[in-house]
A and B are shown apart, each in its own frame.
Chain A
Amino acid sequence: MKLVKKGASQALMYFVELVVIVLSVFPILWVIMSSFKTNGEILTSPLALPTSFSLDAFIHLFQNYSFPIYFLNSLLAAGISTLVSLFFYAMGAYVIAKFNFPGRRLLFVLFTITLLVPGHSKSQPIFSLISDLGLFDSIWGVTLVYLSAGMAMSIFVLKAGFMAIPKSLDEAAIIDGAGFMRTFLLINLPLAKSALSTAGILMFLGNWNEYYFASLLTHSDSQRTLPIALSFFTSEFSYNYTNLFAALTIVILPGILLYVFAQEQVQASVAATGIKG
């Protein structure tokens, strides 16, 4: 009886694992696989493996559409906003972690509580702000908005990172004659490397994948990021499924690759902050 029970719970556990793996991996494998098939193959046998391996769709996309530009836009918007805001939030988190000053606790609460503000609810003011700055329909407007995206998570993760650095190191540096800026740049920043990379990866992933504000703030083809370009493709290609699947592959692959390289960090920080990447 006991053995039967044990066998049943073992079977249940493997079943759950199987469901999770199939649901998570199968859709993506199907998309990647389909991008190598011809349109005819996709229509007649959607589930079959491709009969030949052809990169034509990808070459076609990069040659005939502004894919390099979309890619560059995504990279610029996500990369620059991540680098700049990471530095800004590191500065803020550093003083919150290491110094006593009036309003310290209040600021920390205010910065982290932004996590609970639904981003969409602020759409109109942000839309108007970017328009007033003359940045509507520009990738720089999108970049500017992305600066604010990871605030709560970054301050949270970075503060913990800086707090883990012993204060005696700062004191030693000061005794050796290092000023405020040097203590920060040369002692604390390098030692907070893992917190910085965690926050940076999460912000980059979030901004690379962002769709809502990019769609609200851009209009013309030359300013589109990859996710936006993808949504316009549906109408443009309508029935050329190979191209659509190839476009999807190009959009999803960088995120997956980044995740593969930084798996532990992404998982740990998602668990700690409960944020969708």
Chain B
Amino acid sequence: MEAKGKRSARYRSSRLQRANYKWIYLFLLPTVLIFAMFYVVPIVEVFATSFTQWDGFNAPSFNGIRNYINLFTSHSFLTSLKNLFWWCVIAMTLHVGFGTLVAFVLFHRPRGWKLTRAVYMIPNVISAAAWAMIYRFIFNDDIGILNSLIRIFNPDFSVDWFYVSPWAFWSVTFTWLFYAVIVTLIVLGDLLNIPQELTEAAHIDGATGWQLIRYVHLPLCRSAIGTSIICSLTSRIAMYEQIALTTAGGPDYQTVSLPILLVNAITDYRYGYANAVGVLMFLIGLVILWVVNRLFRMDETDY
């Protein structure tokens, strides 16, 4: 009786669906249009015109891998790759490490954990442009918080953090380094999903606090850490506001990023070159995704 009911329900819904195809495709139309207009066409265009010389007025003319050769022989591009590499290293270690530490702290619910979780999100809900400006003032030589604090001890101190080497790189890094709330929330989510029995079993086996964290909890949020690394590395590739509004890539390209180069190329009407940068951003993103996926064995489940 039950099986029969199920079958007839399936039959009914499938007939219903066939009659609904017109509606289904109509409903998908807006999303598909947006997808085509803002994803498919632009991506194809970026790949195709990255092999051309193009100023946006005249028709693009094919020039093979000229743009890529120019890129890989230019000081600014190589510096931006070097920066990206170090930012990725810092993101994977210090940034994700700090976010994970905060997640473990919150997981133990010390007093004030809810408040901490709530306010940690604030830097992420305000405009990245505004955040960059705020840090520009914090590191400002005349009125900044940092130098005002240092001058309490050393009245003659004066450094314009965003404009001199090597501090510019570290100042830009500091604007995101400890703001790892996404990492914290993702890892905390996984920690809260760990079955209670597992923790209890470990306790019975005699695991103490640190051992529990090191051998049970940490390995179990492996895939959450992998996800947060992907999120954070994706943001490293896309770093724009916190550079454009502070150092603008200087001094001497020491804080330059791929989006900065891309925008400069667009404003110079070197569209082919700009799109070659776009293609490389795209490919670097894919490589990172693949590597992190393999590294953290993210397609395997634990339970």
Are A27 and B128 in contact, CB atoms less than 8 angstroms apart? no
Are A125 and B41 in contact, CB atoms less than 8 angstroms apart? yes
Task: Determine how close the nearest CB of chain B comes to the CB of A180; give it in whole angstroms.
Answer: 4
How many A-B contacts if CB must be within 8 Å? 277
Task: Determine how close the nearest CB of chain A comes to the CB of B14; give it in whole angstroms.
Answer: 7
Determine whether A3 belongs to the interface, using a CB cutoff of 8 Å to chain B.
Answer: no
Determine whether A258 belongs to the interface, using a CB cutoff of 8 Å to chain B.
Answer: yes
Which candidate, B109-117, B194-202, B295-303, is the interface stretch facing chain A?
B109-117
Residue of A nearest to B134 (CB): A27
Give the contact-size bracket for chain A. 35 or more
Partner of A181, one of B14, B23, B39, B279: B23
Are A231 and B120 in contact, CB atoms less than 8 angstroms apart? no
Cα-based distance from A75 to B143 in the complex (angstroms): 32
Question: For window 192-249 of chain B, which residues contact chain A by CB distance below 8 Å?
Answer: 209, 227-228, 230-231, 234-235, 237-238, 240-241, 245
Are A234 and B133 in contact, CB atoms less than 8 angstroms apart? yes
Contacts of A14 in B (CB 8 A): 110-112
Are B110 and A248 in contact, CB atoms less than 8 angstroms apart? no
On whether A227 and B263 interact (CB within 8 A), knowing A19-B178, A258-B125, the answer reads no
Which candidate, A62-70, A147-155, A192-200, is the interface stretch facing chain B?
A147-155
Contacts of B136 in A (CB 8 A): 234
Are A120 and B262 in contact, CB atoms less than 8 angstroms apart? yes
Determine whether A71 belongs to the interface, using a CB cutoff of 8 Å to chain B.
Answer: no
Determine whether A119 belongs to the interface, using a CB cutoff of 8 Å to chain B.
Answer: yes
Contacts of A180 in B (CB 8 A): 20, 23
Are B45 and A125 in contact, CB atoms less than 8 angstroms apart? yes
Determine whether B78 belongs to the interface, using a CB cutoff of 8 Å to chain A.
Answer: no
Are B234 and A125 in contact, CB atoms less than 8 angstroms apart? no
Determine whether B145 belongs to the interface, using a CB cutoff of 8 Å to chain A.
Answer: yes
Cα-based distance from A274 to B271 in the complex (angstroms): 32
Are B178 and A23 in contact, CB atoms less than 8 angstroms apart? yes
User: Which applies to chain A's interface (DSSP): helix, strand, loop or mixed?
Assistant: helix
Question: For window 109-151 of chain B, which residues contact chain A by CB distance below 8 Å?
Answer: 110-113, 115-130, 133-138, 142-145, 148-149
Partner of B245, one of A95, A145, A231: A231
Partner of A252, one of B127, B209, B237: B127
Give the contact-size bracket for chain B. 35 or more
Task: Determine how close the nearest CB of chain A comes to the CB of B205; give it in whole angstroms.
Answer: 18
Determine whether A53 belongs to the interface, using a CB cutoff of 8 Å to chain B.
Answer: no
Cα-based distance from A267 to B12 in the complex (angstroms): 40
Which candidate, B26-34, B62-70, B163-171, is the interface stretch facing chain A?
B26-34
Are B38 and A88 in contact, CB atoms less than 8 angstroms apart? no
On whether A123 and B263 interact (CB within 8 A), knowing A19-B178, A88-B30, A251-B127, the answer reads yes
Are A122 and B30 in contact, CB atoms less than 8 angstroms apart? no
Contacts of B281 in A (CB 8 A): 118, 120-121
Determine whether A51 belongs to the interface, using a CB cutoff of 8 Å to chain B.
Answer: no
Determine whether B256 belongs to the interface, using a CB cutoff of 8 Å to chain A.
Answer: no
Residues of A whose CB lies within 8 Å of any CB of B are 5, 9-10, 12-14, 16-17, 19-21, 23-28, 30-31, 42-43, 46-47, 85, 88-89, 91-92, 94-96, 99-101, 107, 110-111, 114, 116-129, 145, 147-148, 151, 155, 167, 171, 174, 180-181, 184, 205, 208-212, 216, 226-228, 230-231, 234, 241, 244-245, 248, 251-252, 255-256, 258-259, 263, 266-267, 270-272, 274-277
Q: Which 5 A-B pairs have the closest CB atoms?
A: A92-B31, A121-B278, A148-B38, A125-B42, A209-B127
